[in-house]
Amino acid sequence: MRTWYRTTIGGLPRLYWYLWTGMLINRVGGFVALVLSLYLTSARHLAIPVAGLVVGLYGIGGIAGVLLGGVLADRWGRRPTLLLAHFGAVAVLAGLIVARPIPAIAVLAALLGMMHAMPGPAFVAAIVDVTPADDRSRAFNLQFWAFNLGMAVASVLAGALAEVSFTLLFAVDAAGTLLTALLILGKVHETRPAHRATATSAGGLHTALTDRAYMLFVGLSLLLAVLSTQTSTILPLAITADGLRPSAYGSVVAYAALLIVVGQLFVPRLIGRWRKGTALAVANVLLGLGFAAVSLADGILGYLAAATVWTAGSMIAAPPNAAVIAELSPEALRGRYQSVFYLTFPAAGFIAPAAGGVSLQYLGAWHWIVCGALGLIAAAGHLLIQPARERRVAAQLAAAEEFAVPVGG
């Protein structure tokens, strides 16, 4: 029996903290994507449409990386997938430092998007593997906190390094990625359950895509993602339309990030006794109300007040969201189920600006009321599917316990 991840620190397995540290380092150093368009236009002197196309290739690579990462995490294992993605990203970043032809930069941008997206399903599947079910909510809450802390630090570093040297920026990003790879190589063992390691007939991506209970949850999660993506797509347009300076938008985003860093650690105690569907319903209501409040905002204080509400919703949603995915994912297909869920982010990244831009143009402030309605619809959906999902999870646990009982035991 393997016991290498049984030692706990702060009530969570030691291996979880290695994974957590790797994600934090990687996120702090992962700032190339934040300034890729700036690099292409200022350092490589590409026209804005061409730079936009290259950045779009990064996004397409990300979609492929999510799916590939989920499949490889189940077939090869979590550790090989993480090592391939991180060492591969180091190589691609090194290539971007020296690449000059536009076609080469475009190919490398797509590969970087793939390598950056691949670790997500493997990281989360590994956390599920090693963390007891009762501790997963806290584990995912800490993961969400680390992600946002890393993003906040990365944003500051990206701006500072871009003003000094893009070559230095790429080199520091590669160094952080390499450090994560070495941490995984030295400290992270394979976590894929041994008795499932050879389960080649357990299903594939189609299993997740045809899982009605899971896809209903993913659909509702897509609504949440579309709402959350308003902050990076449509909100800047609304703020500037009110005559505020771009720095006002930066202040709102920084304030929201600060709220998460300060408040996220208290969320598990707040929602610890709530049913997961109930917590997700409350989260979507707060997200909806927060964005609906933007319709009333015409100054920085109004936007900060609205950000307080929608950020509270984001914080409450993170732990139960991840825990539900873990509950519904078959053990042998955890990576694939995670990859299907991760597709909601690039999908929201397309839907939010495409539909939101049209909505804002023709509906004006009513666009934010529509966002509020979407939050209420998602909340109602979570409450409606909660009983059936809980029955399924209970049945899966009962079946697992029956399977675990030795014959004649």
Residue 25's pLDDT is: 86
Which of 191, 218, 234 is the last residue in one of the domains?
191
Average pLDDT over residues 231-258: 83
Question: Is the pLDDT score of 162 beyond 70?
Answer: yes
Residue 226's pLDDT is: 92
Radius of gyration, CA atoms only, the chain: 21
Which of 159, 191, 223 is the last residue in one of the domains?
191
Same domain, 44 and 153: yes
Q: What is the tally of structural domains in the chain?
A: 2
Q: Is there a contact between 119 and 86 (Cβ–Cβ < 8 Å)?
A: yes
Same domain, 150 and 222: no
Output the six-digit token pair for 183. Answer: 């941490």
Output the six-digit token pair for 58. Answer: 């990064």
Same domain, 238 and 144: no
Average pLDDT over residues 8-36: 82
Q: What is the pTM of this model?
A: 0.77
Q: How far apart, in whole angstroms, are the C-alpha atoms of residue 229 and residue 296?
A: 20
Question: Is the pLDDT score of 325 beyond 80?
Answer: yes
Same domain, 381 and 243: yes
Domain assignment present for residue 197? The answer is no
Which of 191, 225, 242 is the last residue in one of the domains?
191
Q: State pLDDT tens for residues 111-156.
A: 998 998 899 899 999 999 999 888 888 888 898 888 888 877 877 7
Same domain, 302 and 177: no
Q: State pLDDT tens for residues 82-105.
A: 999 999 999 999 999 999 898 999
Same domain, 175 and 308: no
Question: Is the pLDDT score of 401 beyond 90?
Answer: no
User: Nearest 5°: phi and psi at 244?
Assistant: -90, 155
- Lowest mean pLDDT across 1-5, 213-217, 239-243, 316-320: 1-5
Distances (CA, A) of 297 to 186, 289, 306: 51, 13, 8
Residue 9's pLDDT is: 67
Output the six-digit token pair for 312. Answer: 């509270």
Q: What rounded mean pLDDT belongs to the chain?
A: 86
- Lowest mean pLDDT across 137-146, 245-254, 344-353, 374-383: 245-254
Question: Is the pLDDT score of 36 beyond 70?
Answer: yes
CB neighbours of 69 closer than 8 A, spacing ≥ 6? 81, 85, 117, 118, 119, 120, 121, 122, 335, 339
Q: Is there a contact between 180 and 28 (Cβ–Cβ < 8 Å)?
A: no
- Lowest mean pLDDT across 40-49, 70-79, 251-260, 357-366: 40-49
Same domain, 237 and 353: yes
CATH of the domain at 125: 1.20.1250.20
Domain assignment present for residue 389? The answer is yes
> Residue 13: helix, strand or coil by DSSP?
strand
Question: Is the pLDDT score of 222 beyond 50?
Answer: yes
The alpha helices in 30-47, defined as continuous H runs, are 36-38
Instruction: State the residue range of the domain holding 22.
Output: 11-191
Same domain, 50 and 114: yes
Same domain, 187 and 211: no
Neighbouring C-beta atoms of residue 407, cutoff 10 Å: 4
User: Which of the listed ranges 225-229, 276-280, 318-322 does the model predict with the highest average pLDDT?
Assistant: 276-280
Average pLDDT over residues 265-290: 93
Percent of the chain with pLDDT over 70: 92
